[in-house]
Amino acid sequence: MALNIDSLTASQIASGIAAGDFTATEVAHASLDAIEARDGAVKAFLQVSPELALDAAAHIDAARAAGEALPPLAGVPLAIKDNMNLVGTRTTCASRMLENYESVYTATCVERMLQAGCLPMGKANMDEFAFGSSTESSAFHRTNNPWDTERVPGGSSGGSAAAVAAGEVALSLGSDTGGSIRQPASLCGVVGLKPTYGAVSRYGVVAFGSSLDQVGPFGRTVEDVALAMNALVGAGHDPYDCTSQDCPVDFLEHLEDSIEGKRVGIIPSFMEAEGLTLEVKQAVERAAHELEAQGAKLVEVDLPHLDAAIAAYYVIGPAEAFSNLARFDGIRYGYQEEGCANLTDQSSLSRAHGFGAEAKRRQMLGAYLLSSGVYDKYYYAAQKARTLITQDYNRAYEQVDTILMPASPRTAFKFGEISDPTQMYLSDLYTISINICGNGGISVPLGLGGDTHLPVSAQLVGPAFKDRQLLTFARALERGIAGGMSVAPDFAGKGGEL
């Protein structure tokens, strides 16, 4: 019987290649075939890189033929968010500004995934420069949610989530500044982890908010996400990123541990928040009961300063974004307006026409917030709120091991449904505070919602550098409720035969 690539987890692919059941080259072809068959409807990819994938596969097959030990993710197809540099691909950030930008170096996170044996299948769509929660702000095309192609996949890492949900790849990399991994993972029904700030190097990932951005993996199972984390953090501190830290743990260890006796926090106000849909609320409650059934104790926790999170985020994020995007002036790289008589015109028009609306809005807001007299009020207050929110979480973690909450207040919404940018900002309610304090958070699929029949999920968050423990809780939920979400049914088995 024919085996489809989408029925295999990353660990099954790697062990199948090691066992000689199939070759890495066959896997690469199967993944390319699945992309060919499915991505016309999903549009998760901005670029597919068959040469790089087949080349990497050939190396793995040669290594196996030579009797060498294979790396842990040997032959696993990987999609890479298009804000990560990889030599041999363009890094566009889904922006006209970087439409033709050739990567001249490779990001550390990508390098480490390739070292672990992954096959780089291509670059995934995203909101332009990661500004957004629906991938609708991509300058090139929208990405459709594999569970309902009339709906958004979430964002900003929508392409990375959709590629995994559609079974085109087993793993993908995303980045999360205010929920950009956890929210699309939730909307697409896959596992998505935002590790603690500093766990994964940001070197080579085009910055949005430098103090908020963190790279993390998507997978269809918690184990796959653990394998990816081993690859991303295994080599320790990246000397090219001052804010990266050593957290040398094996994420597979303790994955199957019992959670008996552990304490799980619930924030009552979060469960009653405006905008939280009943089906999501019920799913999170189901998750709470499941954890309780496995021996965990539920504890109500109070985080009095959480209300400040969104405002703090929309001060810090745009301020850092303005600064980080200042370099795009059309001189050294990027879109350059032709025929300008002087430098001011060239810069202003290159930026006006290279950036999309949301990228311009955020930079304008940031430039205002950093201006003399305003900085002292807003930016300072936001960083103080950050201190208070971090203290809130730290106090809560004296009582509990993890906190359970929604990842997204609702399931996938339709294209164009949220058109007011400031309304879109409010949809990040559950994810933002985690970026503010730099802790880890994971979105775990919990099946389909009772009303929309679209993926629902829960989010588990934990203390800094306790991301392994998050995976243990996530695995407990996966074991108890979802059993590992399957590929979106409309795409399962389409192309991709091994």
Residues 213-232 that bind other proteins (CB under 8 A): none
Select the span of 275-283, 295-303, 380-388, 449-457 touching other proteins (CB under 8 A). Answer: 380-388
Site for other proteins contains 386 (CB under 8 A): yes
Determine which residue in the list 43, 305, 475, 494 makes contact with other proteins, applying CB under 8 A: 305
Residues 131-150 that bind other proteins (CB under 8 A): none
Q: How far apart are CA 152 and CA 132, in angstroms?
A: 11
Q: Which residue in 133, 156, 157, 201 is the catalytic one?
A: 156
Residue 449 structure tokens: 């919602």
Write the CB contacts of 385 (distance below 8 Å, at least 6 apart in sequence): 305, 308, 309, 311, 312, 436
Select the span of 13-21, 100-108, 139-147, 248-256 touching other proteins (CB under 8 A). Answer: 100-108
Determine which residue in the list 96, 194, 202, 262 makes contact with other proteins, applying CB under 8 A: 202
Q: Are the beta carbons of 398 and 392 closer than 8 angstroms?
A: no
Select the span of 176-184, 269-277, 384-392, 466-474 touching other proteins (CB under 8 A). Answer: 384-392
CB-hemisphere CA count at 13 Å for 264? 29
Q: Are the beta carbons of 120 and 45 closer than 8 angstroms?
A: no
For the question of residue 377 being annotated catalytic, the response is no
Nearer of residues 270 and 314 to other proteins, judged by Cβ:
314
The DSSP bridge partners found for residue 205 are 84
- Sheet hosting strand 191-194, strand order edge to edge: 45-48, 119-124, 77-81, 171-176, 214-219, 191-194, 440-448, 455-462, 402-405, 263-266, 297-300
Q: Least separation, in Å, of the C-beta of 487 and other proteins?
A: 31
Q: Least separation, in Å, of the C-beta of 97 and other proteins?
A: 9
Write the CB contacts of 89 (distance below 8 Å, at least 6 apart in sequence): 47, 49, 52, 80, 102, 103, 120, 122, 123
Site for other proteins contains 394 (CB under 8 A): no
Nearer of residues 35 and 249 to other proteins, judged by Cβ:
249
Residues 435-474 that bind other proteins (CB under 8 A): 436-438, 464
Residues 32-61 that bind other proteins (CB under 8 A): none
Residue 221 structure tokens: 């199972």
Q: Are the beta carbons of 332 and 73 closer than 8 angstroms?
A: no
- Residue 348, Cβ density class (10 Å: 0-12 exposed, 13-18 middle, ≥19 buried): middle
Site for other proteins contains 333 (CB under 8 A): yes
Q: Are the beta carbons of 124 and 184 closer than 8 angstroms?
A: no
SS3 136: coil
The DSSP bridge partners found for residue 171 are 78, 219
Among 293, 73, 302, 33, smallest CA distance to 167 is for 33
Site for other proteins contains 294 (CB under 8 A): no
Alpha-carbon Rg for the chain in angstroms: 21
Site for other proteins contains 388 (CB under 8 A): yes
User: What string marks each residue from 334 to 373 as x (binds other proteins by CB under 8 A) or -?
Assistant: xxx---xxxxxxxxxxxxx--x----xx-xxx-xxxxxx-
Nearer of residues 122 and 167 to other proteins, judged by Cβ:
122
H or E stretch at 120: strand 119-124
Q: How far apart are CA 36 and CA 325, in angstroms?
A: 34
Determine which residue in the list 8, 107, 163, 405 makes contact with other proteins, applying CB under 8 A: 107
Site for other proteins contains 425 (CB under 8 A): yes
User: What string marks each residue from 237 to 256 as x (binds other proteins by CB under 8 A) or -?
Assistant: --xxxxx-x-----------
Name the DSSP class of 81. E
Beta strand 119-124 pairing with 45-48: antiparallel
Determine which residue in the list 377, 395, 414, 453 makes contact with other proteins, applying CB under 8 A: 377
Q: Least separation, in Å, of the C-beta of 373 and other proteins?
A: 9
Site for other proteins contains 418 (CB under 8 A): no
Nearer of residues 167 and 334 to other proteins, judged by Cβ:
334
Q: How far apart are CA 10 and CA 227, in angstroms?
A: 8
Residue in this structure with the two tokens 């594999």, named with its chain if needed: 146
Site for other proteins contains 12 (CB under 8 A): no
Site for other proteins contains 419 (CB under 8 A): no
**Residues binding other proteins: what is the number (CB under 8 A)?**
99
Q: Least separation, in Å, of the C-beta of 267 and other proteins?
A: 19
Q: Are the beta carbons of 92 and 98 closer than 8 angstroms?
A: yes
Q: Least separation, in Å, of the C-beta of 319 and other proteins?
A: 6
Determine which residue in the list 8, 28, 93, 403 makes contact with other proteins, applying CB under 8 A: 93
Name the DSSP class of 286. H
Q: Which residue in 133, 160, 172, 180 is the catalytic one?
A: 180
The number of angstroms, rounded, from the C-alpha of 312 to the middle of its chain's C-alpha atoms is 21
Nearer of residues 19 and 104 to other proteins, judged by Cβ:
104
Q: Are the beta carbons of 461 and 402 closer than 8 angstroms?
A: yes
Nearer of residues 239 and 268 to other proteins, judged by Cβ:
239
Q: Least separation, in Å, of the C-beta of 358 and other proteins?
A: 10
Site for other proteins contains 199 (CB under 8 A): no
For the question of residue 156 being annotated catalytic, the response is yes
Q: Least separation, in Å, of the C-beta of 410 and other proteins?
A: 20
Q: How far apart are CA 338 and CA 335, in angstroms?
A: 9
For the question of residue 419 being annotated catalytic, the response is no
Active site positions, annotated: 81, 156, 180
